[in-house]
Amino acid sequence: MDARSTTGSWPRTLGAAARAGISCGAAFGLADGVTAATLTPAHLSPASLAGCLAAAAFEYAVLATAGLLLVALVLHPLVGRREPRRLLALFVGVGLAAGLFAELYWWTRPYVFYGWKSTSAPRLLATLGFLAVAVLLARALARPAAALVERAGAKLLYAAVLLVAAGGAYLAAQRDPLAGHGVPNERTRDLPNVVLVVVDALRQDTLGCYGDERVRSPHIDRLAREGVLFENAFVQAPFTWTSFGSLLTGKYPRRHGLVKMAPGTRMVENVTLAAHLENARRRDGRQLTDSDFLSASFHTGTLSSGSGLIQGFDLYYEQMAGHGLIVAESAWSVFRADLLLRVLAAKLAQKAGGDVAGTARAWIAQHAERRFFAMVHLYSTHTPYDPPREFRELYVDPAYRGPFQSFYSYHREAIERGDYAPTPADVAQITNLYHAGVTQADAAIGALVSALERAGTLDDTLFIVTSDHGESLGELGLWEHNHMTDTNLRVPLVLRWPRGLPAGTRVSALVDQIDVLPTVCDLMALELPPQTDVYSRIDGASLMPLVRGESSAVRPYSFAENALFASIHDLSWKLLVPFALIDGDGWERGETSHGLGPVLLDLVNDPGEERNVLGANLDVARRLHAALRAWFKELPEVRIEYSPRDLDAIQRMEALGYTAGGIGIDEPQAPARPPGGH
């Protein structure tokens, strides 16, 4: 008896697998394509939508067919003698089980142990449960689905093949809209590349170059030695979205408009640094064009394209959303990022080192010969504090046996509710975990620097390191951020570019994050963006006169806002005023309906900001209040833009402990945590 009579026909087995793969793949591709169409920020014409849906069916069908053919090669000796209908049902069942498992696993994340590690016991048990449910559903659906394929016969198969072929043709017709962008020319040959590294929630006082003798930050320290360090740099808001808005536009929050950090809100149209580098006028009259610079943002956490902060970037990578590198001008690139197949592939790539730091490093190395602007948003100093072992072991006491082997936002919430009072050992453990995150971020920055060095372009790059805000580590009973304390408002700011900045320079004057954009423009001999109305006005100033020793200050005060207070401070005093008390008489004795009053802090004699000394220093408080009120009155009415519902943004923000926070526009509700500890 020959093998053929024992195991059946190989072509029949492979044919059944191929039919099942094309059918299941096209079906799941269309279903996920429709879902992606509801999520994508891309503006799709009917023709583009049809092309994207067909391309989704193509990608899914190719993967499903390849996968089922491999399964067929393995199972043929066992199942090859089955009758054709049962053979088709088997492979349809396998395809359905795989697809249903992926769908169940992904779309139940907001409800099943969201924020837990994928390798944690609860998540692993849930994953096994999803697999069991998927298999049971597939077994129930396999025969009816196979019967449908059989009844429809060649017509259904031809339709699926035609759809898949159309998708393949659509993909073949795609062209790279960024081809040639960033190639040096007579307008840009003497300009530097720009790398802007924003380490989320990085305290200034945890770096060696700012005086910390314990935390290891050799790479940032090197950049400071070889460049310029600003000792007194401050942000305009102690939370991410609003702070990034000021960093990228050079404007106060009420001018750029992104005053809320809430799903559904986004920054109104503004000229960001990325956008400006593509159409700025040089001081010698030469005009840059949109192809002169190639700009990319690599970010994680809650930063997203939906926030409007990525205006002007040619490409963007969104780690937490599970989006690979996206070409902003390509409808297909934007659309496909929300396909489950692509999301899962991106997540797997992250596990293999394709995270923000790794992806940015590879991209920078690949484009080192071009003129580029790369913004790299690192996140290891933001909750959760859960550093890899190599960094954890540098700081964490191995004898610690308390509850904080890592520190998540829900831990902070439990502390604020009074459910748990951290011991001194707990506070030390949490601080050690945070310090490990600082060194982790420093190592990532070192890898970026090394990539530029290997490419021979480090000295042709303006390298900037800063943060969007600092972090509270138990001081004044506060944790994380969104507090008006110096631990939150004071940030590092280091710039290195040998051709334009003197090495080893330290600037002690008060500076703000709104000064970064004008300083970059000054260093690159670019005019500022056009300022045609109150909303396009740039509030920041170039810091180069300070660097060159031509000036001792760019402004007398720094201003900031959160949901409770507006603040004004110099290097000696800080005044916090609830929004309801900024205008009107008797403000110094006033109090809001929630019991909030003004606070004056003596930063010289009370650097820990523990005592309200307003009563004993009314003359100082009134001087600061007058300047704060004048600043407040000169700002325009806030413009708030609302974007389509973004479920991923909601999930990400809730997992990280954010609520619909923002700066005060109306009088806030009673705070869930102390108002800056005062």
Domain boundaries, the chain: 3-172, 193-345+372-381+441-451+462-556, 565-662
| pLDDT confidence tier of residue 156, bands split at 50, 70 and 90 | low
What mean pLDDT comes out for the span 131-136? 93
Q: Supply 227's token pair.
A: 């460049």
Q: How far apart are CA 318 and CA 298, in angstroms?
A: 6
| CA distances for 484 relative to 274, 321, 465, 565, angstroms | 29, 29, 22, 8
Residue 518: its H or E element: helix 516-523
Residue type, 13: T
Q: Could you tell me which of 490, 488, 385 has the C-alpha nearest to residue 440?
A: 385
Residue 3 has pLDDT above 60, yes or no: no
Residue 137 burial (CB count, 10 A): 16
Q: Are 490 and 233 in contact (CB under 8 A)?
A: yes
What mean pLDDT comes out for the span 448-472? 96
Residue 583 has pLDDT above 70, yes or no: yes
Q: Are 190 and 464 in contact (CB under 8 A)?
A: no
Residue 652 has pLDDT above 60, yes or no: no
Residue 559, φ and ψ in degrees, nearest 5: -120, 145
Residue 177 has pLDDT above 50, yes or no: yes
What mean pLDDT comes out for the span 465-492? 95
Residues 6+ apart with CB under 8 A from 627: 556, 557, 568
Res 79: pLDDT: 84
Q: Give the tens place of pLDDT for each residue, 262-291.
A: 777 889 999 999 999 999 999 999 999 999
Res 648: pLDDT: 52
Residue type, 348: L
Cα angle: 538, vertex 483, 564; to 5 degrees: 75
Residues 6+ apart with CB under 8 A from 173: none
**Residue percentage of the chain with pLDDT more than 90:** 63
Q: Which residue has the tokens 């700012």?
A: 210
Residue 668 has pLDDT above 70, yes or no: no
Separation of CA 587 from chain center? 39
Q: Supply 15's token pair.
A: 């044919």
Residues 6+ apart with CB under 8 A from 265: 258, 307, 640, 641, 642, 643
**Residue percentage of the chain with pLDDT more than 70:** 92
Residue 215, φ and ψ in degrees, nearest 5: -75, 135
Res 298: pLDDT: 95
Residue 366 has pLDDT above 80, yes or no: yes
Res 664: pLDDT: 65
Residue 136 has pLDDT above 70, yes or no: yes
Q: How far apart are CA 533 and CA 516, in angstroms?
A: 21
Q: How far apart are CA 72 and CA 80, in angstroms?
A: 9
Q: How far apart are CA 146 and CA 153, in angstroms?
A: 10
- The number of C-alpha atoms within 13 Å of 12 and in the hemisphere containing its C-beta is 16
Residue 38, φ and ψ in degrees, nearest 5: -80, -20
Residues 6+ apart with CB under 8 A from 550: none
Lowest mean pLDDT among 172-186, 380-394, 489-503, 653-667: 653-667
Res 5: pLDDT: 46
Q: Give the tens place of pLDDT for each residue, 49-84.
A: 999 999 999 999 999 999 999 998 998 888 878 888
Q: Are 492 and 202 in contact (CB under 8 A)?
A: yes
Q: Are 45 and 9 in contact (CB under 8 A)?
A: no
Separation of CA 476 from chain center? 29
Helix (H, G, I), strand (E, B), or coil: what is residue 457? coil
> Higher pLDDT residue, 39 or 66?
66
**N- to C-terminal Cα separation, the chain:** 90
Res 592: pLDDT: 74
Q: Are 475 and 608 in contact (CB under 8 A)?
A: yes
Residue 646 has pLDDT above 60, yes or no: no
Residue 460 has pLDDT above 70, yes or no: yes
480: left (phi over 0), alpha (psi -120 to 50) or beta: left
Q: How far apart are CA 90 and CA 84, in angstroms?
A: 10
Res 466: pLDDT: 98
Residue 323: its H or E element: strand 323-327
Q: Are 307 and 241 in contact (CB under 8 A)?
A: yes
Residue 535 has pLDDT above 80, yes or no: yes
Residues 6+ apart with CB under 8 A from 508: 231, 232
Q: Supply 156's token pair.
A: 């259904």
Class for the domain spanning 565-662: alpha beta
Q: How far apart are CA 382 and CA 118, in angstroms?
A: 19
Q: Are 224 and 479 in contact (CB under 8 A)?
A: no
| pLDDT confidence tier of residue 644, bands split at 50, 70 and 90 | low
> Higher pLDDT residue, 158 or 68?
68
Q: Which residue has the tokens 């502390």?
A: 415
Q: How far apart are CA 413 and CA 211, in angstroms?
A: 31
Q: How far apart are CA 378 and CA 380, in angstroms?
A: 6
Per DSSP bridges, beta strands 228-234 and 493-496 are antiparallel
Q: Give the tens place of pLDDT for each residue, 238-250.
A: 999 999 999 999 9
Query: What average pLDDT is seen over the chain?
Result: 89
Residue 661 has pLDDT above 70, yes or no: no
Q: Are 676 and 576 in contact (CB under 8 A)?
A: yes
Residue 458 has pLDDT above 80, yes or no: yes
Q: Which residue has the tokens 């192809």?
A: 291
Separation of CA 389 from chain center? 24
Res 660: pLDDT: 52
Q: Are 600 and 620 in contact (CB under 8 A)?
A: yes
| CA distances for 295 relative to 292, 375, 577, angstroms | 10, 8, 39
Helix (H, G, I), strand (E, B), or coil: what is residue 13? helix
Highest mean pLDDT among 150-164, 318-332, 584-598: 318-332
CA dihedral 145, 149, 152, 157 (to 10 degrees): 140
Q: How far apart are CA 218 and CA 208, in angstroms?
A: 7
Residue 112 burial (CB count, 10 A): 16
Residue type, 515: D
> Higher pLDDT residue, 419 or 348?
419
Residue 175 has pLDDT above 70, yes or no: yes
Residue 301 has pLDDT above 60, yes or no: yes
Q: How far apart are CA 494 and CA 229, in angstroms?
A: 5
Q: Could you tell me which of 303, 254, 256 has the C-alpha nearest to residue 275?
A: 256
Q: Are 297 and 315 in contact (CB under 8 A)?
A: yes
Res 1: pLDDT: 39
Res 656: pLDDT: 55
Q: Identify the CATH assignment for 193-345+372-381+441-451+462-556 out of 3.40.630.10, 3.20.10.10, 3.40.50.2300, 3.40.720.10.
A: 3.40.720.10
Residue 427 has pLDDT above 50, yes or no: yes
Q: What sign does the CA torsion over 116, 118, 124, 126 have?
A: positive
| pLDDT confidence tier of residue 2, bands split at 50, 70 and 90 | very low
Q: Which residue has the tokens 């506060």?
A: 478
Task: Give the DSSP letter string of 270-321.
Answer: ---HHHHTTTPBBTTS-B--TTS-EEEEEE-TT--GGGTTTTT-SEEEETTT
Q: How far apart are CA 220 and CA 449, in angstroms?
A: 10
Q: How far apart are CA 473 and CA 480, in angstroms?
A: 7
